[in-house]
Amino acid sequence: MTPIIRTVAGLRALSRGWKAAGETVGVVPTMGALHEGHLSLARRARGECDRVVTTIFVNPRQFNNPEDLKKYPRSEDADAALLATVPVDAIFAPPVEEVYPDGFITNVTMQGVAQPLEGYMRPGHFDGVATVVTKLFGMSLADRGYFGQKDWQQLQVVLRLVRDLNVPVEVVGCETIRDPDGLAMSSRNMRLTAAGRGRAPVLYAAITAAANDIRAGHADRMAIREAAETMRAAGFERVEYIELRDAETLMPSDDPSRPRRMLAAAWIDGVRLIDNIPV
Ligand code: AMP
């Protein structure tokens, strides 16, 4: 079985040994409840790095809603079994006190790309992400870090973070893995009822249709409004946002000569789903 490391000292010792032998280290940060999306990141890292560490840490600082944190699924044994199929060299699954010991006072705070959309809907979320990612990079001594495009804004935040703080980690963005019906895989999907799971793929279908309409010359606003209506008609309780943004800065963009991204967040069955696609 894959070794499960609980301490920063343990992870550092392992990583130092690898690096002393001239090996490259890839880190795949996750919050566990692993699925094929996470495994695709680990497999990519496996193909590009000599050593791979997957971290499993449900980071309390990136939850703005205590209920969401409490309900977050945890399944370490099943996660370890899945990671053994990749395989990875180590799992880093520290307790909260190891990551945030008494006296912890330092935070990474970001403006710009971290402010709109998820940053606006979930105050403090990206500061929590930026802080823990900075720490995980420092703990693992990784050469590369692997992140999913599923969380597009998070990926842009991490790319900006390593540039701004001169963190010597190459950030690799990986394709979103979807179920055959188009629903982006997410640990949150398991909280959907059968009926909600049946309707959830409408999120991806609706933004895909809107993106196609925009490419065909339809007005951005009209296409987005139609997508929101389609989702409400399919039973989404709430469409938080559907936005066409500059793919890198996440600022509003009506400049089709720059890469743009359509991003959406919506609630179905009391579960908040997000997705995004290139336009
Ligand atoms: P999480 O455990 O949800 O924090 O996700 C850990 C990493 O896996 C993040 O970089 C996510 O973007 C990535 N990820 C989650 N779901 C998917 C997916 N369906 N496809 C690709 N990457 C994903």
In a mutational test of the pocket of ligand 1, which residue from 150, 181, 274 has the highest number of ligand atoms less than 8 Å from its CB? Answer: 150
Catalytic residues: 38
Task: Supply the mean pLDDT for the chain.
Answer: 97
Q: How many angstroms is it from 54 CA to the middle of ligand 1?
A: 12
Question: What is the arrangement of strands in the sheet containing 271-278, beginning at the earlier edge strand?
Answer: 238-246, 260-268, 271-278
Are 174 and 40 in contact, with CB atoms under 8 Å apart? Answer: yes
Amino acid at 214: I
- φ and ψ of 238, to 5 deg: -150, 130
The DSSP element (H or E) to which 238 belongs, if any, is strand 238-246
Mapping DSSP to helix (H, G, I), strand (E, B) and coil, where does residue 56 land?
strand
Nearest CA to ligand 1 atom 18: 37
pLDDT band per the 50, 70, 90 thresholds, residue 211: very high
Residue 254 confidence (pLDDT) above 90: no
In short, whether 41's Cβ falls inside 6 Å of ligand 1 is: yes
Tell me, in angstroms, the distance from the centre of ligand 1 to residue 273's CA: 13
- Whether 253 shows a pLDDT value over 90: the answer reads no
In this model, does residue 256 exceed pLDDT 90? no
What does pTM read for this prediction? 0.98
Q: Report, as an integer, the average pLDDT of 53-64.
A: 97
Q: Is 55 in the pocket of ligand 1 (CB under 6 A)?
A: no
Residue % of the chain over a pLDDT of 70: 100
Selection from 219, 209, 203 nearest residue 256 by Cα: 219
Does the CB atom of residue 145 touch ligand 1 within 6 A? no
- pLDDT, one tens digit per residue, over 65-92 is 999 999 999 999 999 999 999 999 999 9
Measured distance CA(223)–CA(6) in Å, rounded: 48
Residue 113 CA to ligand 1 centre (angstroms): 19
Distance CA 42, CA 229 (A): 37
- pLDDT (tens digit, 9 = 90+) per residue, 231-250? 999 999 999 999 999 999 99
C-alpha–C-alpha distance, residues 266 and 75, integer Å: 26
Q: Which two tokens stand for residue 274?
A: 């997000």
User: CB of 187 closer than 6 A to ligand 1?
Assistant: yes
- With a cut of 90, say whether residue 255 has pLDDT above it: no
Query: For ligand 1, atom 12, which residue shows the shortest CA distance?
Result: 148
Query: Can you tell me the distance from the alpha carbon of 199 to that of 193, in angstroms, rounded to the nearest whole number?
Result: 10
Pocket lining: 37 vs ligand 1, CB cutoff 6 Å: yes
